[in-house]
């Protein structure tokens, strides 16, 4: 008697462009760190300015690409609260981008309402605790991929601790570079999670 082989279920194809989104996230992640190191090396007394605005926009753009890729892979789950949290995360990123446009166009963040929009930078990083919690809760990603989004939220607490340890000082102080390095590392890993997660579905 001939036994017919049981056909294997085909792997679900990844949504188009997800690998590209992850790659863009990886490219954008180190740009604030690169500019911070440059400014520290030249002895600049203020990080604000057109170059910081451009670096910030590229950083935020890469971050947004990683989040879009994570959403398309279902990493946050499909629940209504997860969608609300992601919408709030993108709103904060847009506000931070508006602040960076101000820096890029005028070279100073002093015009109203940009001092208010400046709050979106620390809030957008800290809100990643919420976004990362949904990634953990959904269990769509396993292993190390579960953690980069959550770890990104520690950037501002790390900045506070590093600033206290260094005794403060005039920017760009080393504490800022430490925070930039943490943001670069965690967002690089998030982009890599999206890029490699797209090929393992």
CB 29 within 8 A of CB 195: no
Contacts of 72 (CB under 8 A, 6+ apart): 15, 18, 21
State the pTM of this model. 0.85
Per-residue pLDDT at 11: 44
H-helix segments, the chain: 18-28, 31-42, 50-72, 80-106, 114-117, 120-126, 128-138, 148-152, 155-166, 174-199
Q: Tell me the C-alpha distance between 14 and 25, whole Å.
A: 17
pLDDT along the chain (201 residues), means of 10: 43 72 96 86 73 92 97 94 97 94 73 76 97 96 95 93 73 78 96 84 52
Show the 3-state SS of 107-162. CCCCCCCHHHHCCHHHHHHHCHHHHHHHHHHHCCCCHHHHCHHHHHCCHHHHHHHH
Per-residue pLDDT at 111: 63
Per-residue pLDDT at 103: 82
Per-residue pLDDT at 109: 57
Joined tokens for residue 152? 């990104």
Per-residue pLDDT at 1: 44
Per-residue pLDDT at 87: 97
Per-residue pLDDT at 175: 82
Per-residue pLDDT at 20: 95
Nearest to 76 by CA among 176, 174, 197, 175: 197
Per-residue pLDDT at 107: 63
Per-residue pLDDT at 4: 46
């Amino acid at each position: 008697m001939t036994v017919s082989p049981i056909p294997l279920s085909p792997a679900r194809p990844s949504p188009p462009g997800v690998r590209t989104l992850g790659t863009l996230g990886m490219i954008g992640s180190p740009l604030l760190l690169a500019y911070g190191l440059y400014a520290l090396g030249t002895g600049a007394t203020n990080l604000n300015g057109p170059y910081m605005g451009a670096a910030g926009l590229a950083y935020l753009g890469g971050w947004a690409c990683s989040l879009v890729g994570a959403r398309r892979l279902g990493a946050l789950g499909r629940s209504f609260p997860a969608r609300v949290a992601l919408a709030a995360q993108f709103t904060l990123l847009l506000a931070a981008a508006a602040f960076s446009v101000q820096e890029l166009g005028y070279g100073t963040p002093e015009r109203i309402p940009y001092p208010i929009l400046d709050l979106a930078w620390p809030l957008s990083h800290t809100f990643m605790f919420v976004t990362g919690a949904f990634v953990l809760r959904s269990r769509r990603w396993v292993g190390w991929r579960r953690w980069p989004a959550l770890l990104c939220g520690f950037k501002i607490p790390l900045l506070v601790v590093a600033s206290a340890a260094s005794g403060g000082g005039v920017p760009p102080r080393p504490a800022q570079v430490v925070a930039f390095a943490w943001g670069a590392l965690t967002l690089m890993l998030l982009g890599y999670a999206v890029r490699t997660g797209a090929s393992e579905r």
